[in-house]
Every structure is written in structure tokens, then in C-alpha cells.
Amino acid sequence: MNVDDLQWQSSHLAGVPPRLVDELLEHGCLQLVVAAAREREDWFCAAGAVRELCGAGEFGRAWAVVDPFTESGWQPAVRTGADVLLRWGRVEEALALARPTGPWEDADEAWRDYATMLVRVGRVEEAIDVLGPHLRAGRVLQALVEMTEDQGCDERVLELLAPIAEEFRRDPGQCGARDLWEVLPAQARVLERSGRTDEAIRLFGTDVATRRYGPQNNVEFYAGLLARHGRIGELRELATGTGAEQSTAVRPYVRVLEALGQADEAEAYLRGLVGAADHPSRYENELLELLVRQGRFDDAVQAVEHTFDDLYEGNLLQPAMILLAEQGRHDQALSLTEGRSTEFLAENDAFWLRSNRWWLMGESGRAREAIVEIEALPAGEVDDREVTIAWLLAQDGRVEEAVARLLPLPGRRAANDLAELLMRQGRFTEAITVIPDTAAQREEERGFRTPRTEQQEAAPSDTGRSSPPHPSAPAPGGDRNGRPGPLL
């Protein structure tokens, strides 16, 4: 079993995608999933089958599925296999499998997983000893904090964190310390849970005030710490100040005001920020989300519609469309695509706007109109034309026509959509069969990666755009606010 193939599957959600594995299991197709894990060396099928089997108490069968994957030494498989053995009651075998035995590339992750297993069998002190030499890796440091919660060892954890935190505070930019920023919120978190909230706020507040932090989520953690303990005055001071941390505190402050029933005050605060800012788009986005959460959809659109024809940064058309669609207001979202300026359409229509419109039409019962629009355009002007039409046919209840449209199409995207439609018809074995295996999917990717595209991927984008999927689903991932990415 090839570790590189397994890693590629995991990072690309390749092979049989997790959502399709889940659907197969929901339809009682466990044996098909087990067979795909074995015959195709498909990791997501293996992980899904193990989860299902362990849930039914069939640990021997689960181990038979995952064992070939653990032999590769790939850490996610080792972690899953050790979990199966532990739940099966084979404690020493689980620990032996989890214990790192070589200079792995992901050694810190391996020691983290081993320590987690030790905690699960009650050997907390030993787990802490194991992690001690690896605490300068951020994920290990986080794991130490998480696995020791409610274990009665907070003082020892704080003793380990203190010298690392002080090293970072002395010189955040020095070589070897610049990646340790996570130790500051980790220390505050342990102080908080051990009942030393005032100390956590005082210490971390000083860090924030003197800008001893890495990414802005340190400030967000501090704002959350203040909010959790009702320190509204200090949170307000942070959110209304003039420092670099002010913008990061906006969201937690707004959420606290909402939770206190003070949505009007939150709105007034955001409108004030919008009016005073040179670049108000972030605050306008927060205002948009606030008004949508309050069910004031027309007010939300009115607050940001002046941005809808901006060509690049600050345009909130797509976020507004997505938020409205999430609330089931597809027709209102669709109406936002109308009346756009000639300049905006020239820049964006072919790229994403009209495909978003087709998606919204499909969701709002107007799939046939969307198909007519697409078929009226030259074939070369619509990316993934046949896949998009197939999705719209399925939305219109014409599943057989959609299947016929997808069957001759090459590529992973069409195959995944076809598999989903076949499952809808109860054709589960065919659904797995039509999905290319990992080797074929990797070959397809290599065919798309010309020297020019590789150079473009390596260079920073001046527009922040990415290649979007067809309208059958929102893009994976999402923006910093957790919303889906571009729909097409």
C-alpha cells in the first residue's frame, strides 16, 4: 500500500469521497464499502467501514479492514488502527502500534497520537512525559492542553508551558521562537480552566496590548475569553480601540451583544465602524451577517448593495447571495444577479455570476429555464457544460436523462455526480464502479497540471480567485467566516 497515494487521497478528498461513503453506509451497503477499501485501497471507504463496524461492536472485522493500511506506517491509518485495538480491549497491542519506532517525517504527530492513547488508558503522567520533548510543535502543544483537561494535572501542564511562553515573550521574532505563538493562548486556556481566570485575562491581556502574538486568532481567543466571563467593558474597549487588534474583536463583541439581547446596539456599533473606516468591507460583511441572523433580509441587502458592482475587493454580492440561499431565499438571492453594471458583467459573468444564477435557479424550481439559458450559449463559453446541465436535469426530477448525460463524460467530477445519481436509483454497486480509482484520478490531475498552471499556482493571485466547482454543491472549505466558497 502506497503512503503517497494514501496521503493524496486524504488531502484531495479523492477515491470515493467521504460524503458518498456516508451515503452508501446509510443505505446499508457496508459490504460494498469494505470491498472497495480492500480492492481499491480506498482510505475513505476503509475509515467509513471501520467507523460503522466499531459502532456495531465488530472490532475484529474492523481490524481486518484497517490492518493493511496500518502496515504502510501512514499516521492516520496507524491512529485509526490503534483506536480499533484499544476499543477491542487489546490495550498493549494498541499502545505498541501507536508508539513511534522510527524517524518519521510526521514524528511530532505520531508522538501526539501515542500520548493520546496513553491518556485513554489512564497513564496521564506518562503521556505528559512523552510530549515534553515535542512541545515546540504547535499541534503537539495543543494536544497536551486538550488531552489533560479534567485530568487533575493543570499545574504540571502550566509548569511545562511557562518557560516556552516566556521565551516567546522575550523575543517573538527570534529564530526558533516565532512559531511558538500558540503557547500564549494555550497557557491562558489552562489557567482559565483551573479557576485562575483573572490571571489568564491579566497575562494574556498584556500579551495582546503589547502585540505579542502571531496570527490574529490570538486576539480572537482573548476576546472570547473576555466574553465567556462577562468582561463586557474590557471587550468593548478592545473592540472600539484603535490598535491593530480592534478589527479582530469586532465579531466576538457583536456576538456578545446579540446574546445579551442588544442587537440594536450591535447594529449601531457596526454602522459606526462602516461610516468611519477607509476600507469598510469587513465591517459591512459583519453587518450583513448580523441583519441576516436577525431575519431582516431586505435590510441586509440594502446595507451592502452599494458594493455589488465593485470589481474586486469589497464586493459583497456573492456573500449576500450565499447567506440568502442558506436561509432558503433562493428567489431573492437570484434577484441580486439582475441589474448589474456592464463593467461588472464583463469581468465576472462568465467566471462565476451566471453559474451561480443557474445554481439558484435549480434550487428554486427553475431548472428548465437555466438549461435553456445554457444551451443558448456557445458550448465553449460554459465550463463543465454537460455536468451542469446534468445537475439541473436531476433537480428537475429527470434523473434518467441526467444519468445518460453523465455516463459518457470523463473525469472525477462527472463520475462523482454520476455515482450520486446511481445511488439515488439504488444502483449502489455501479455507483462505486464508475468512480475512478486513485491511480486514474492522479493521472487525471497530472493531465491538468501544465507548466503554466503550476507556475500560476505558485504565484500569489492578484484577485484572490480560485477555480470553483459546478453548481451541484458549494465549494469545499469556505472563507474565514465559515461560509461556503464560490458555488461555480
DSSP state of 485: B
Q: Is 152 left (phi over 0), alpha (psi -120 to 50) or beta?
A: left
In this structure, CATH architecture of domain 167-261: Alpha Horseshoe (1.25)
Write phi, then psi, for 475 (nearest 5 degrees): -65, 150
Distance in angstroms (rounded) separating the CA atoms of residues 53 and 87: 11
Position 91 scores a pLDDT of: 97
Write phi, then psi, for 386 (nearest 5 degrees): -70, -35
Write phi, then psi, for 80 (nearest 5 degrees): -65, -40
Distance in angstroms (rounded) separating the CA atoms of residues 388 and 392: 6
User: ∠483-186-103 over CA atoms, to 5°?
Assistant: 95
Position 483 scores a pLDDT of: 31
User: ∠145-150-152 over CA atoms, to 5°?
Assistant: 95
User: ∠226-227-231 over CA atoms, to 5°?
Assistant: 55
Asked whether the whole model's pTM tops 0.75, one would answer yes
Contact by Cβ (8 Å): 362, 471: yes
Confidence class for position 9, pLDDT limits 50, 70, 90: very high
Distance in angstroms (rounded) separating the CA atoms of residues 188 and 143: 15
pLDDT at 467 over 60: no
Percent of the chain with pLDDT over 90: 66
* Tens-digit pLDDT profile for residues 38-80: 999 999 999 999 999 999 999 999 999 999 999 999 999 999 9
Q: How far is CA 66 from the centre of its chain?
A: 25
Choice among 115-124, 460-469, 470-479 with the minimum mean pLDDT:
460-469
* Tens-digit pLDDT profile for residues 437-463: 999 999 988 876 544 444 444 333 332
Position 473 scores a pLDDT of: 35
Position 174 scores a pLDDT of: 64
Confidence class for position 485, pLDDT limits 50, 70, 90: very low
User: ∠334-340-343 over CA atoms, to 5°?
Assistant: 140
C-alpha cell at 99: 508508539
Among 237, 282, 291, 239, which Cα is nearest to 264's? 291
* Tens-digit pLDDT profile for residues 181-200: 889 999 999 999 999 999 99
C-alpha cell at 474: 458549494
Among 119, 121, 184, 164, which Cα is nearest to 146's? 119
Position 247 scores a pLDDT of: 83
Classified as helix, coil or strand, 474 is coil
Position 421 scores a pLDDT of: 96
Percent of the chain with pLDDT over 70: 89
Choice among 34-48, 121-135, 210-224 with the minimum mean pLDDT:
210-224
Q: Where are the domains of the chain?
A: 167-261
Confidence class for position 178, pLDDT limits 50, 70, 90: low
Question: Distance of CA 442 to CAs 34, 412, 439, Å?
Answer: 22, 10, 5
- What's the sign of the alpha-carbon dihedral 461, 462, 464, 468? negative
Position 167 scores a pLDDT of: 87
Question: Distance of CA 33 to CAs 21, 69, 348, 440, 484, Å?
Answer: 7, 15, 41, 19, 28
